[in-house]
Structure 1
Amino acid sequence: MTSTIASQAQALPADWRDFFALTKPRVMSLVVFTGLCGLLAAPGHIHPVLGFTAVLCIAMGAGGAAALNQWWEADIDAGMKRTAQRPLPQGRLRRTDARDFGVALAAASVGIMGVAVNWLAAVILALSVVYYAVVYTIWLKPRTPQNIVIGGGAGAFPPLIGWVAVTGEITLMPVVLFAIIFVWTPPHFWALALFVKTDYAKVGIPMLPVVAGEAATRRQILLYSIVLLAVSLVPWAIGGTGAIYGLAALLLSGVFLALAVPVAFRRSAVEDRMRPEKRLFAFSVLYLFALFAALVADRLILGQGLAA
């Protein structure tokens, strides 16, 4: 497989769109948004230029980690229908170019964050890159069905980084924001894994539906959805937000849980072609955008966030 990709790369020239695709722009949009929300919800103020720089560094770090992920998993991506059209499986880039691009982008993001904003935010950004590109991609994903549970921390760093970019310190509130995304990740990703599990099975990735079966995965989705409802209300409970966020969290998490129930308690998905699972997955993306938007609205309108 590697030799096929390499030979294709010599025949198909890359352009900027292929390098951009390495950054997983759709995934990055959620990363950038939650990082921006963490920055806007934090108590205190940051110069707009420095704020823009911090968010740009978060985007660069996420893009670099994504490129390194695709460099390492090029052969796996080639074997999966969902990822076979990416630049590396299609042979439009050499794997070494993807690796070098990822390293350069990640290193630049950490350096700029440290020099322009603060070094604590830079250290956390570096940790997030290593967590995704090494801990999750190289170690967890091919070895354990708990890869998404433990690896969920990789996508949970952006609001913490955004908050620290403003305040220069880690307090309870940004840790709770980290926890929300950490708990959200398993039901979000397992809903996807349920309807693409044959892809993962084909390339030997031990996702939970492949290893433990659908029934166990469905129970875990429900369990994490219940925990998510509780964790999402913690910012309101500790006085870090006001009623705008609290009511939005209650409504959004309630809908999330309601969508998880039919996923959890059914035995056959043949007739409806995984419609409940696809609904839950689609809503889970909207959920995170809406929840963090409510966090920012609460901060701007009610001035909450100062206590935490």
Structure 2
Amino acid sequence: MAPVIQSSQQWVEKYRPKQVKDVAHQDEVVRVLTNTLETANCPHMLFYGPPGTGKTTTALAIAHQLFGPELYKSRVLELNASDDRGINVVRTKIKNFAAVAVGSGRQGGYPCPPFKIIILDEADSMTEDAQNALRRTMETYSKVTRFFFICNYISRIIEHLASRCAKFRFKPLSEEIMTGRILHICQEEGLDLDSEALSSLSSISQGDLRRAITYLQGAARLFGSSISSKDLISVSGVIPQEVVQSLFAACKGGDFDLANKEVNNVIQEGYPVSQMLSQLFEVIVGADDISDEQKAKICKKLAETDKCLVDGADEYLQLLDVASITMRVLCNMPLELSYEN
């Protein structure tokens, strides 16, 4: 097996598709956008879906295929969540860029249509005022500027913007598609992954190819060319399944002291409690020996605890509370203590 060559370049960028047709698994989107490239005429676009499914890659690929490397910088404006995108930026930077007219005609074999493109990545983090300010800009300069909105949650885009765009939904990647892409990268980088490691990588990345590639590169740097399932779990931050099962078993057994011991173990090992809640949720939902009513009660508590953690609550106390409620539900104890004599 060839040694892993250390490189400063991120594999996410190294293996990012350069053309729309190479984007994995988004067949309907690719088919429509390929026609767009052939006619060199595209509407405003809204790409939405889970992280790591190819939204930004597709937007960048369209822009590069329309304008080529020479005109790309002058014709395309990229803004993401790290930029200030309040109403003032919309009124100045975006409006000024959108207002400038451009010429047409093919250059260097690229279509180079007579419009510019503004890519707004993570558009769902824009304020409502900023989104409202964009409405007029989109209408006024629609002949010379196209907007590409990219977001995870389409519900956070105001209806006035969404209705002006052609919408494209990006689906989570299937295990088969992810495995094929990961195997290609392993072959290129000289890595050895067995079937268990591939399955684990697909499971912990949850359809997010970018996350899977990042985990793979992290494991390669730490453990070399031969990577096991355990190696991938250790770099991903996912809690080992045996730890989750131990806490769940303690709750089923009805032993509070044992459950408290398992909670302490989770905290002392430095595992994030939010991650524990996520994995505990999967265990509970998938359990066959728990009634739907019991599952509903436990999941309600998991949701409340997750909100408490977001608000800054103590992790130990919150996880202990979850363990206590889970134990009461599974052992058919009353959820509320009675203090009456």
Instruction: State whether TM-score is above 0.5.
Output: no
Higher normalized helix content (fraction of residues) = 1
TM-score, normalised by the number of residues in structure 2 = 0.24
TM-score, normalised by the number of residues in structure 1 = 0.26
Higher normalized strand content (fraction of residues) = 2
